[in-house]
Amino acid sequence: MANDTAVPLNRIERVLAYMIGSVAGFSILAIVATMIAGLAGIDTRQGVWAAIAVVPLVGLSLAFVLIIVFMILSFTRRRRLGRAGS
């Protein structure tokens, strides 16, 4: 296998990539919503706003863990493909 040959993603890696993107995107939207609510004078410490304010804490941490899992899986798969090719 040549060094510049693209290695296709398998199904698990594709699902992980979409999960990372959706969790991180949802967390960023929650940050923006909290900032807009704060500028509008809404008390973000009560009601549903408290849950929205916690989403980035959990979501960005989860996205970071998923990125690490994705990297481990892709490195392992590439190593296996490299051994099989030589």
Neighbours of 53 (CB within 10 A): 17
Closest CA relative to residue 80, chosen from 72, 70, 25, 51: 72
* Of 2-11, 49-58, 73-82, minimum mean pLDDT range: 2-11
Give the integer Cα–Cα distance in Å for 19 and 10: 14
Distance from the first to the final alpha carbon of the chain: 8
Residue 37 has pLDDT above 90, yes or no: yes
User: Model pTM?
Assistant: 0.79
Residue 45 has pLDDT above 90, yes or no: no
